[in-house]
């Protein structure tokens, strides 16, 4: 113990008061050989007991890796971890749990067919000779939920619960294991603004009860709302730790990105012309046959961006699949340039000038098994300039790739290069180059900036506005409210497969749009009622 303190003093930890540090991570380095990424580069972080400490940084900055190391899911290549001043070895989540560390992962780690109680008590079931005591279990969960003011129904099954409730189960899971240090990994990414508000209140409440919270996020407003201090990571390095009260949001953004960020996108007013695309009363079912899109009608005019906002899983994916031709519609008609294309195939739609930037560039947007050239021509290889008698003209493909690399500044890419070696931002640029070159008349952009760094996001936004200014019609689907509001000329909000309302992005407030996203109607309804109701997927039908 004494030696540790001496060592710590010699290291001169930034915080100074040693005993109050709940967590110290020292000189953590982690390298992933398979993807050749130095995820954590000599990272040092100390966290005081009882504080809410925000860990911010862009996607890929190394926040999650650092926390996974702390939680025992990864082993660091070098560095040491101290909990309450004691050096510890964390090889496995089990070790972390024993040390009082709990983690709520970005992707919930719940068993869908189990009940809330079964999930919370998994691994620590009350039992007699190995047989479960299910009544005791439910009672313990109810007790815990009441203690912390987070009511749940112990017998409800996870698969029937809205996302906000599932998150609550994750938090309770950690609390049941007597977590003193709680890591929340991007907890607000999947929530509506109202659910976010509720979560932040829960976080503050837990801190008041003496829990130490590490709050991972890249949304700076939330940092301002909830955290005492923040630490910023960029490119795997720790940039610094600040007190939130003394740091402004633009300062935080500068630390995060490494330069001043243009938070506002400047664009000319739209000059909408004729209707290019119209969906009339369309209805679509999801993979399991349940209705995902119900009676939606809207139209997109040339020279405008129509934004579709909403919490992920409210039918956006199915809507896009139906529009692009990947999923049949159950009812309604789709008109493109005045022609009925409801039953046309993807290829036929594309031929008429439809382009689609899919939400998942890894699985749908690109073929990672092949190179840049082939990925770029996959939507136009049938054109005469790219093939002769069914044989591809490699030189033409190469020329096109060189053109695209230059035009869309796909950094560090050569024609013929394997796609898998590119970064996320550059991959997305390849998709943009393929979809946006060749004068499309209608562009569907589904979550076009998901998982990208700020620089790439700016590029994608710029490209979409440019296409609009060339008088193409753009349909933008995104769960990022800021993105929708800054890019769109008109905004529709989707909730449970219907259009909950249309708003004007220049005048609407975030609260108003949040209400629509949560399923409430606009004129003055109470916020608390709608907040936990946002359902990830349309639930089973209530048969009248």
Partner 1 sequence: MEGDLFTVALLSSGLRLATPIILAALGGAFCARAGVLNLALEGKMLLGAFVAIVATFYLGNTFAGIFVAMLLGGLLGYLFAFFYLRYQVNLIILALAINLLIGELTVYVMRVLFGNVGSWSDPSIQRLPDFEIPLLSSIPILGDILSGYNFIVYFSWVACIVGYIVLFHSKFGRHIRAVGENKQAAETLGINVRRVQVSAMVIAGMLCALGGAFLSVGHLSLFTRNMSNGLGWVAVTANIFGFQHPLGVLLTGYFFGLAEAFAVRIQNVTDLPPNLIQLLPQFATLAALILVALREKANLALIRRRFRRQLARGEMQSAAGD
By CB under 8 A, residue 33 contacts partner 1: no
- Residue 245 burial (C-beta neighbours within 10 Å; 0-12, 13-18, 19+): exposed
Read off the tokens for 404: 């695209």
Is 2 exposed, middle or buried (CB count within 10 Å of its CB: 0-12, 13-18, 19+)?
A: exposed
Which three-class secondary structure string do you get for 209-254?
CCCEEEEEECCHHHHHHHCCEEEEEECCEEEEEEEHHHCCHHHHHH
Question: b/e string for 256-266 if b means 16 or more Cβ within 10 A?
Answer: bbeeeeeeeee
Binding window for partner 1 (CB under 8 A); candidates: 29-37, 41-49, 117-125, 213-221 = 117-125
Q: Six-digit token pair at 72?
A: 């025992």
Q: Is 92 in the site for partner 1 (CB under 8 A)?
A: yes
Q: Which of residues 460-519 bind partner 1 (CB under 8 A)?
A: 496-498
By CB under 8 A, name the one of 19, 245, 389, 544 that touches partner 1: 544
Alpha-carbon distance of 396 to 404, in angstroms, equals 12
Structural tokens at position 80: 């040491």
225 contacts partner 1 (rule: CB under 8 A): no
Of 72, 73, 70, the C-alpha closest to 53 is 70
Query: Candidates 46-54, 104-112, 204-212, 242-250 — which segment interacts with partner 1 by CB under 8 A?
Result: 104-112
x/- string (CB under 8 A) for partner 1, residues 412-451?
----------------------------------------
536 lines the binding site for partner 1 (CB under 8 A): no
Closest approach, Cβ 111 to partner 1, in A, equals 5
Closest alpha carbon to 381 in 396, 371, 368? 396
Q: Indicate whether 395 belongs to the interface with partner 1 (CB under 8 A).
A: no
Q: Is 119 in the site for partner 1 (CB under 8 A)?
A: yes
Q: Is 229 in the site for partner 1 (CB under 8 A)?
A: no
User: Mask: binding to partner 1, 324-363, rule CB under 8 A, as x and -?
Assistant: ------xx--------------------------------
* 173 scored as a contact of partner 1 (CB under 8 A): yes
- Interface mask (CB under 8 A) for partner 1, residues 58-87, using x and -? -------------x-x--------------
The residue (of 26 and 537) whose beta carbon lies closer to partner 1 is 537
Residue with tokens 């040693």: 18
Find the part of the chain contacting partner 1 (CB under 8 A) among 126-134, 361-369, 382-390, 433-441.
126-134
Least separation, in Å, of the C-beta of 472 and partner 1? 31
Identify which of residues 88 and 364 has a Cβ nearer to partner 1 in the complex.
88
Give dist(CA 51, CA 54) in Å, integer: 9
Candidate residues 110, 144, 230, 492; the one interacting with partner 1 per rule CB under 8 A:
110
Minimum CB separation from partner 1 for residue 421, in Å?
24
Measure the CA–CA gap between 69 and 492, rounded to whole angstroms. Answer: 41
| Nearer residue to partner 1 within complex by CB, 331 or 347 | 331
The order of strands in the sheet holding 339-340 is 291-301, 275-285, 331-336, 339-340
92 vs 351, which CB is nearer to partner 1?
A: 92
Based on CB atoms, which residue is closest to partner 1, 60 or 291? 291
Contact with partner 1 (CB under 8 A) among 288, 338, 384, 389 = 288
- Does position 311 bind partner 1 by CB under 8 A? no
In the bound complex, what is the minimum distance in angstroms from residue 255's beta carbon to partner 1? Answer: 31
Using rule CB under 8 A, residue 131 touches partner 1: yes
Query: Which one among 51, 125, 225, 235 touches partner 1, defined by CB under 8 A?
Result: 125
Span of 19-27, 127-135, 223-231, 419-427 interacting with partner 1 by CB under 8 A: 127-135
Question: Which residues pair with residue 310 across a beta bridge?
Answer: none
In the complex, least distance from residue 165 CB atom to partner 1, rounded to whole angstroms = 16
By residue count, the chain amounts to 544
3 state SS of 205: helix
| Owner of token pair 């998901």 | 450
Burial class (CB in 10 A: 0-12, 13-18, 19+), 101: buried
Q: Is 127 in the site for partner 1 (CB under 8 A)?
A: yes
Cβ atoms of residues 235 and 250 within 8 Å: no
Spatial distance between the Cα atoms of 94 and 71, rounded to a whole number of angstroms:
9
Number of chain residues interacting with partner 1 (CB under 8 A): 43
Residue whose CB is less far from partner 1, 473 or 500? 500
Region from 144-152, 291-299, 455-463, 480-488 binding partner 1, contact rule CB under 8 A: 291-299
DSSP secondary structure string, 266-315?
P-PPP---SEEEEEEEEEEE-TTS-EEEEEEEEEEETT-EEEEE--TTSS
Residue 446: which of 466, 460, 425 has the closest Cα?
460
Check binding of 97 to partner 1 (CB under 8 A): yes
Secondary structure element (H or E) that encloses residue 533, with its range:
none
Neighbours of 367 (CB within 10 A): 14
In sequence order, the 6+-apart residues with CB closer than 8 A to the CB of 15 are: 21, 46, 48
Pairing type for strands 473-477 and 490-495 reads unpaired
130 touches partner 1 by CB under 8 A = yes
Residue numbers of the site for partner 1 (CB under 8 A)?
71, 73, 92-94, 97, 103, 105, 109-114, 118-119, 122-125, 127, 130-132, 173, 283, 285, 288-291, 294-295, 330-331, 496-498, 538, 541-544
């Amino acid at each position: 113990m004494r030696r540790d303190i001496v060592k710590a003093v010699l290291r001169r930890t930034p915080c100074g008061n040693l005993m109050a540090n709940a967590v110290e991570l020292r000189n953590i380095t982690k390298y992933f050989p398979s993807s050749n990424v130095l995820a954590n580069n000599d990272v040092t972080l100390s966290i005081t007991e009882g504080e809410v400490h925000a860990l911010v940084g862009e996607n890929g900055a190394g926040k999650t890796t650092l926390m996974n190391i702390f939680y025992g899911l990864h082993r660091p290549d070098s560095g040491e971890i101290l909990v309450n001043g004691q050096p510890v070895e964390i090889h496995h989540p089990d070790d972390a749990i024993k040390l009082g560390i709990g983690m709520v992962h970005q992707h919930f780690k719940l068993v869908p067919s189990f009940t809330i109680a079964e999930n919370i008590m998994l691994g620590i079931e009350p039992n007699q000779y190995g047989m479960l005591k299910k009544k005791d279990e439910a009672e313990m969960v109810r007790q815990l939920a009441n203690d912390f003011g987070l009511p749940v129904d112990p017998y409800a099954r996870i698969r029937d619960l809205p996302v906000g409730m599932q998150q609550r189960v994750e938090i309770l899971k950690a609390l049941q294991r007597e977590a003193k240090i709680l890591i929340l990994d991007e907890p607000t990414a999947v929530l509506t603004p109202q659910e976010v508000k509720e979560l932040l209140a829960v976080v503050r409440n837990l801190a008041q009860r003496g829990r130490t919270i590490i709050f991972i996020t890249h949304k700076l407003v939330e940092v301002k709302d909830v955290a005492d201090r923040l630490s910023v990571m960029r490119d795997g390095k720790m940039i610094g730790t600040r007190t939130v009260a003394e740091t402004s949001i633009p300062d935080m953004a500068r630390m995060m990105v490494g330069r001043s960020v243009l938070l506002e996108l400047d664009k000319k007013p739209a000059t909408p012309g004729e209707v290019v695309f119209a969906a009339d009363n369309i209805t679509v079912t999801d993979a399991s046959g349940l209705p995902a899109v119900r009676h939606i009608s809207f139209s997109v005019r040339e020279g405008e961006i129509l934004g579709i906002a909403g919490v992920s899983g409210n039918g956006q994916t199915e809507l896009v699949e139906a529009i692009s031709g990947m999923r049949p519609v159950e009812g309604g008609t789709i008109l493109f340039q005045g022609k009925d294309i409801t039953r046309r195939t993807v290829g036929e739609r594309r031929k008429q000038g439809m382009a689609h930037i899919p939400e998942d560039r890894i699985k749908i947007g690109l073929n990672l098994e092949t190179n840049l050239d082939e990925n770029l021509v996959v939507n136009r290889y049938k054109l005469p300039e790219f093939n002769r008698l069914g044989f591809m003209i490699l030189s033409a493909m190469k020329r096109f790739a060189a053109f695209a690399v230059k035009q869309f500044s796909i950094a560090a890419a050569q024609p013929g290069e394997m796609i898998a070696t590119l970064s996320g931002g550059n991959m997305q640029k390849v998709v943009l180059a393929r979809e946006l070159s060749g004068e499309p008349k209608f562009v569907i952009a589904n979550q076009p900036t998901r998982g990208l760094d700020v620089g790439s996001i700016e590029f994608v936004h710029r490209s979409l506005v440019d296409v609009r200014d060339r008088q193409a019609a753009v349909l933008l689907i995104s769960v990022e409210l800021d993105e929708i509001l800054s890019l769109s000329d008109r905004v529709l909000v989707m909730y449970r497969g219907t259009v909950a309302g249309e708003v004007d992005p220049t005048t609407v407030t975030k609260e108003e749009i949040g209400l629509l996203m949560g399923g409430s109607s606009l004129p003055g309804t109470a916020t608390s009622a709608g907040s936990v109701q946002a359902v990830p997927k349309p639930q089973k039908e209530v048969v009248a």
